[in-house]
Structure 1
C-alpha cells in the first residue's frame, strides 16, 4: 500500500488530464486497458485504494474484499452494470456514475446508426467501391413522419428524442422512472413501443429485470421491417433472436454498438450480415466525452470522500 497519498485505482490505461488535475492529493494507479479480475484483486491488495474509477472490466465482491479501505466506486460513464452494486451496498461502498457526461456523443452515434440503417449507407458504399451504380434499383427509408420508439428516457434518450423530433419524426418513449417529459416525447407502455414504432432505439441500463428484453416475442410484436438501434448494453438483446428476425425480414436492419460478449467473439454470427451495421462500443468515445466522463468520475468520487476539489 502507498506510504503517502491514498490511492485511486483506474481500471484502464489512462485518465484525462483535467480529471488528473483534480486528483493531485491522491496516487493514481492504472490497471491497464483490459484488466482481469485477478489483475484488479492484485492491485487492490497492493494499494488498498479508497476509490476505484471503472473504465473497463468488472468490479465484483472479490475485488472489493481485496480493498478494505475502499469507500467509493465511480463509473467513467453512465452504465454501472459492470459493478456489483449489491456487493458494494453490503460493504458500505458507494457506487456513483458520470450520468450524462457522454450523452451528446452516444446520442449522435445512435442517430448515425439509425441513418446508416435507413439509408443503407454501408451496403451502398461497398457496392460503389465495387463499381456498381444502384440508383435504378435501390430505395432508402424516409424517416420524416415515421415513429421512433425510445426505451430509456435519460440524458441520452432525451437528447436523441430532440434530434429525431427535428427530423420530423414522431417520438414515443418508455421509461418507468422518467418524469416531466418534454412535449416532443409521448410516454407509452412497452407494448405500444413494439406495436407502433418504425424504429426502436435502446437507451436504458441493463438490469436483471430487462436482460433479453428484445427477444423473439417482442420482435414478433413489432412492425415488419422495423429498424433496431442499440447503443446501450448488449445484454438487452437476445442476439440469436435478432439474427433470425433480420434474416426473415421482420427486422429490416439493425445498428449495434454493444454486444452480449465484449470484445465481440470472432467469428460471430452477425459477421457478414449486410443489414446489420456494427461498431465496437464506441458511441461514447470522443475526445470531448473522454474528458467529461473522466472529470465527472473524479468529481463524483471526491464528493463521496468529502474532498474539497469535488466542487
Structure 2
C-alpha cells in the first residue's frame, strides 16, 4: 500500500481548505502555507515539498515560485481572479492555470448589493449618527433605486446576478462587456461613455488586465453622472484611488462601496479611512459559508482534471 509520504503534494497558500475539497484530494499529500504566507514562505515550501499543484487562496504566484516547484503541473485559483498568477510565466513553463469560475458568484453578487444599498440608504452614516444621539428623520433623504439606472462593467456570472437583482428593484440595467456571449433579458449593452453618463449606480465585475488597469481615473470619473454611486467588488487596480478620493470629497460621486484595493491588505493609514461616504470591506465579497465550499471544490476539481490529463498523456 502506498504510504502518505509517497503521495504527490498539493500546496495550499492558506491555512485551511474546505473538508469537501480535501475529500476530493485524498490521493495527494495536502500541505498548507499558513494564514498569510509571504513569497519567501511559498518558495521554501515549494522547494521542500515539490508540489504537483498549487491551490492559490492568498498571495501571488510568480515565476520565482514556479521555478522552486520543479514538479508543478497546475496552479488552481480558489476563486475566479487569476490576475494574482503570472500567466505568461506559467505558459512559458507549460504549467496550467485554472480558475473556479462561478463558484463564488452568488456571494459576490449579494455583497455587491449590500454595498449598493448601504451607499444608497446611507446605512453606515445613519448608524453612526444614531450612536452619537442624533435623530435625522426630518433632514435625511436616501436615494430610491426604483426607476434609476444601474451600469455594469462586466456581464459574467456575477454581473448577470447583479443585473437580475437590479431589474427586480425596478432599475434600468445597462452593461458593457465586449466578450459577452449572451445578454440576459432586460439588459441593454452600451458603450462605456454612455454607461458612465447615464448610470446612477456603476458596479465593476470585470477581471483586471494590463489594458484596463486604472480604467476609472480622473478623466473617466468626471464623465459619471454627478451624484452617482460606484461599487467595486472586482479588483482594486481598476480604480485610481487618489482620483476616487477626490471625486468623493468633491461631490462628483455620492458614495463608493469598495471591497478591493490597489494594495491588499489596504494600507494603514489610508485616505479612504477619512472619507465618510466611502464604505469599505476587506475583500470578503466572495467569502461566504457556501462559497468557501464551492471555491474549494472547484479548485480541487481543476487540480484533478489537469493531473489526470497529464497522467493520460504520459501513459
Common fold: TM-score over 0.5: yes
What SS class does the counterpart of residue 98 from structure 2 fall into? strand
Distance in 1 between the 2:307 and 2:127 partners?
51
Distance in 1 between the 2:68 and 2:5 partners?
18
Deviations 1:198-238 (A, max 9, x none): 11000101110000011000000110011000000000000
Counterpart residue number, 1:146: 148
Choose the corresponding residue for 2:58, options 34, 37, 56.
Answer: 56
Q: CA deviation at 1:3?
A: 4.8
Counterpart residue number, 1:124: 126
Counterpart residue number, 2:211: 209
Matches within 5 A, 1:24-39: 24-39=26-41
Choose the corresponding residue for 1:167, options 149, 166, 169.
Answer: 169
Counterpart residue number, 2:255: 253
Distance in 2 between the 1:177 and 1:131 partners?
50
Deviations 1:104-142 (A, max 9, x none): 000000000000000000000000111110011000000
Between the two proteins, the alignment pairs up a number of residues equal to 307
Counterpart residue number, 2:95: 93
Matches within 5 A, 1:10-21: 10-21=12-23
Counterpart residue number, 1:306: 308
Q: CA deviation at 1:185?
A: 1.2
Distance in 2 between the 1:5 and 1:239 partners?
46
Distance in 2 between the 1:139 and 1:177 partners?
38
What SS class does the counterpart of residue 306 from structure 1 fall into? helix
What SS class does the counterpart of residue 203 from structure 2 fall into? strand
Q: TM-score with structure 2 length normalisation? A: 0.96
Counterpart residue number, 2:312: none
Aligned CA-pair RMSD: 1.1
Distance in 2 between the 1:276 and 1:37 partners?
31
Counterpart residue number, 1:5: 7
Q: Does the 8 A contact of 2:5 with 2:29 survive in 1?
A: no
Unaligned runs of 5+ in 1: none
Counterpart residue number, 1:178: 180
Q: CA deviation at 1:30?
A: 0.4
Q: TM-score with structure 1 length normalisation? A: 0.97
Distance in 2 between the 1:212 and 1:40 partners?
29
Distance in 2 between the 1:251 and 1:191 partners?
16
What SS class does the counterpart of residue 104 from structure 1 fall into? helix
Q: CA deviation at 1:184?
A: 1.6
Choose the corresponding residue for 2:222, options 207, 220, 223.
Answer: 220
